[in-house]
Amino acid sequence: MIDRLRQPLAAAVAALANWRFFKPAVFLACLAPGVWLGYHAWRFFIGGDFMALGVDPSITLLHETGKTALILLLVTLSITPVRRLLGVNRLQAVRRMLGVWSFTYAAIHVSLYLTLDQLCYSLATCEFAAIWEDVLKRRFIFVGALAFVILLLLALTSTTGWMRRLKRNWQRLHRLVYVAAIAAVIHFIWIQKSDIREPLNWAIWLAVVLGIRIVFAIQKRRRARERLPVTA
């Protein structure tokens, strides 16, 4: 039954992944939310249309960039399970790009917080003490900052050169992405006042993706044990 569903799905995903313009298409899809937001920001800041970003421009910019970063992170984490369940190895080709895009939106998100919320458009106005206080005293900012620092570290070491240099440690380091994803979802939940439906969707997605990985890990261990020679 599952196989009957799996095969046409696998065929469709494989067709997409083997398409000549698959990588550029994914690139453009990742760029699109930024272009869309940038266009409205341009209308607001340059065009003087004060409704271009809704009534509260900073909330719109922060929310949209943060949400896009989180969705792209979840897509990145979904690549391996989907690849293995459907057997479409070519999907792996876009995983790093997706991860770096997620970091890019997270970096814009953090920059917006620093400029709009903490006035860091100049050194003289920047509220350094308030930023420090936010990170230490407010748990939702703390977990958000934690997620960002991890993404920054992973983006910096995402190049092939660093992969070679770090050898086996590269994979160990990059497992921190799970911590970043969990922290990002918690960051989103903790900023809500009473209605947590929106971040709950992302929490469920993350739980499914992590759950599949746990199943894979258990299966791997079991296979390894079966292969062990009987010594006693």
Contact residues toward another protein (CB under 8 A) are: 44, 50-51, 53-59, 61, 116-119, 125, 127, 130, 133-134, 138, 140, 190-191, 193-197
**54 bridge partner residues:** 52
The smaller minimum CB distance to another protein, of residues 26 and 53, is found at 53
170 alpha-carbon distance from chain centroid: 18
Q: What is each CA distance from 50 to 47, 55, 133, in whole angstroms?
A: 9, 7, 31
Angle at 158 between CA 160 and CA 190, to 5 degrees: 170
State the nearest-atom distance from the C-beta of 4 to another protein, in Å: 36
The smaller minimum CB distance to another protein, of residues 42 and 56, is found at 56
State the nearest-atom distance from the C-beta of 53 to another protein, in Å: 8
CB 82 within 8 A of CB 88: yes
The smaller minimum CB distance to another protein, of residues 96 and 138, is found at 138
The smaller minimum CB distance to another protein, of residues 18 and 201, is found at 201
CA end-to-end distance (rounded Å), the chain: 41
CB 184 within 8 A of CB 69: yes
The smaller minimum CB distance to another protein, of residues 75 and 108, is found at 108
- DSSP single-letter state for residue 54: B
State the nearest-atom distance from the C-beta of 115 to another protein, in Å: 8
State the nearest-atom distance from the C-beta of 187 to another protein, in Å: 11
CA atoms lying within 13 Å on the CB side of residue 80:
17
φ/ψ of 54, rounded to 5, equals 80, 180
The smaller minimum CB distance to another protein, of residues 118 and 157, is found at 118
Q: Which of 102, 62, 56, 60 is nearest to 78 (CA)?
A: 102
The smaller minimum CB distance to another protein, of residues 33 and 57, is found at 57
State the nearest-atom distance from the C-beta of 188 to another protein, in Å: 13
Look up residue 37 and give its amino acid: L
State the nearest-atom distance from the C-beta of 134 to another protein, in Å: 7
State the nearest-atom distance from the C-beta of 136 to another protein, in Å: 12
d(CA 96, CA 119): 33
